[in-house]
Chain A
């Protein structure tokens, strides 16, 4: 965090955020800060509230209580129009890529430019093809439909779409899940490169430690709806925290017990 000038508020700051679905408490007082231009990786098991946390920041879910600030501005009480404006700052790569299957690949990549920023289609297509080039896809792929692509290719398209309108903040939801180790590494490299090129702030949630080591400046561990540890990426192997230790080394035995029911 030392690289953040003190005059700037943190890019994203969550304070005491709670969220429950019915009687099931998912977020139980999350406190987390992400500095400008920093790449934070949030690790944690399945069903510990990682995705819910991201969706609360994006406003896809509204937290029950607590404060979420982006660039120092409180976002939990935003009206829909202001929310739409705020979301211009964000890009997101979804776990299953979430490409629009009724649209061609280039239309997917250009979607935010055409619909969100009302750019002419021809101009948006040029930008889309350039962004696809940045993630290693040739222009001929643009004319295909998402269902014709492999999982790894879909992730690349999702990444191109997330960076197309040059967001200040990018979220990655389990970017390597379901990919073979080589494709996973390719995606990791692309994420690091894209984030650096844009100078963006990145938050990645994952349970893939190889991915976390590659992407992260800083790592936070979430367990039972709370952040139980944060630290520099290099300190992850000697965190001194038994929960983090168990997770990082993937041991079945330890303080973390398996969750039976989905959240």
Chain B
């Protein structure tokens, strides 16, 4: 009986959390589309997410592209398929690794920062203070972050795609002695718009998830420094897991019929 009770309790907690998150998301989304918006806040978040994440996302993409070229060379040379390296790098980076690794890096950088900032505002009553100053916290804090996440991550991933392919190019040309012109033409040859577009759609969803988890866990943090710490951890972990799950789902939607 104890086992059944524990299972039931866990299930109820799960349902409660799902409902809470659903309500939070619905409220936040409704404030994203209803004026007044706060352009200053949106701009600040866009700079934070888009511009200041460039170095870390760029570095991640560069080394991913480089190692991908190196790995596929050592694998493909076993059956004389070295010519496919440029294509493999381009497809993997644009479809998968750009958005997923970019999303995960941003989850660590931005999701954590959002949860910590909003969480601290919660425990020091700054969120209550917003309400008493006739400012809706959802509109002022949550909506700008969601909008910035949704719009900035695709741009980041577009840059990451280019840098990732460039990383593969560097290794291909300077380490593996490919002809630069033929590497580039190989890259373009099999790359279709849908490869890049699916990656950007993923990026938009991931950006939304990162902001949503950061805001949600920060907004509901309780009990001082420890609560803020837990909110930060939960934001990063849940955003990372959601990115991986949604990555699979979106890939399924885009490419299952082919």
Which residues of chain A have a CB within 8 Å of any CB of chain B? 55, 58-60, 80, 84-85, 87-88, 90-92, 94-96, 98-101, 111-112, 115-118, 161, 165
Contact = CB atoms under 8 A, between A and B. Distances in A.
- Residue among B121, B131, B134, B135 with max Cβ neighbours from chain A (10 Å): B134
A237 B126 CA distance: 37
Given A115-B38, A115-B140, A90 B124 contact: no
B256 interface: no
Given A98-B125, A100-B126, A115-B38, A92 B132 contact: yes
Given A60-B132, A92-B132, 12 more contacts: A58-B128, A87-B134, A92-B128, A94-B125, A98-B128, A101-B126, A112-B134, A115-B133, A115-B134, A116-B133, A116-B134, A165-B133
B136 A80 contact: yes
- Residue among B126, B132, B135, B140 with max Cβ neighbours from chain A (10 Å): B132
Contacts of A87: 131-134
Contacts of A115: 38, 133-135, 140
B131 to A, nearest CB: 6
Pairs of residues from A and B, 9 with the lowest C-beta to C-beta distance, nearest first: A116-B134, A112-B133, A98-B129, A98-B125, A92-B132, A115-B135, A94-B125, A98-B126, A87-B134
A224 B134 CA distance: 31
A103 to B, nearest CB: 10
A98 B134 CA distance: 15
Nearest to B117: A102
Interface size class of B (residues with CB under 8 A): 10 to 19
A51 to B, nearest CB: 10
Interface string B51-77: 000000000000000000000000000
Nearest to B131: A60
Contacts of A80: 136
A118 B121 CA distance: 23
Nearest to B129: A98
Nearest to B140: A115
Contact of B129 (A85, A92, A117, A118): A92
A9 B134 CA distance: 24
A90 B132 contact: yes
A58 B133 contact: no
A195 B9 CA distance: 51
Contacts, number: 56
Contacts of B128: 55, 58, 60, 92, 94, 98
A26 to B, nearest CB: 16
Interface string B129-153: 1011111100010000000000000
A101 B117 CA distance: 10
A175 to B, nearest CB: 14
Nearest to B128: A60
B222 to A, nearest CB: 11
Contacts of A98: 124-126, 128-129
A126 to B, nearest CB: 18
B135 A91 contact: no
- Residue among B38, B135, B140 with max Cβ neighbours from chain A (10 Å): B135
Given A115-B38, A115-B140, A96 B125 contact: yes
Contacts of A117: 134
A156 to B, nearest CB: 15
A92 B129 CA distance: 8
B133 to A, nearest CB: 4
Contact of B133 (A55, A85, A161): A161
A58 B132 contact: yes
A88 B135 CA distance: 10
A254 B183 CA distance: 88
- Residue among A94, A98, A161 with max Cβ neighbours from chain B (10 Å): A98
Interface in B91-132: 121, 124-126, 128-129, 131-132
Nearest to A92: B132
Contacts of B129: 92, 94, 98-100
B126 A116 contact: no
Contacts of A58: 128, 131-132
A85 B131 CA distance: 11
A238 B8 CA distance: 56
A58 B134 CA distance: 11
Contacts of A94: 125, 128-129
Contacts of B38: 115
A101 B128 CA distance: 14
Contacts of B121: 100
Contacts of B124: 96, 98
Contacts of B125: 94-96, 98
A111 B135 contact: yes
Contacts of B36: 118
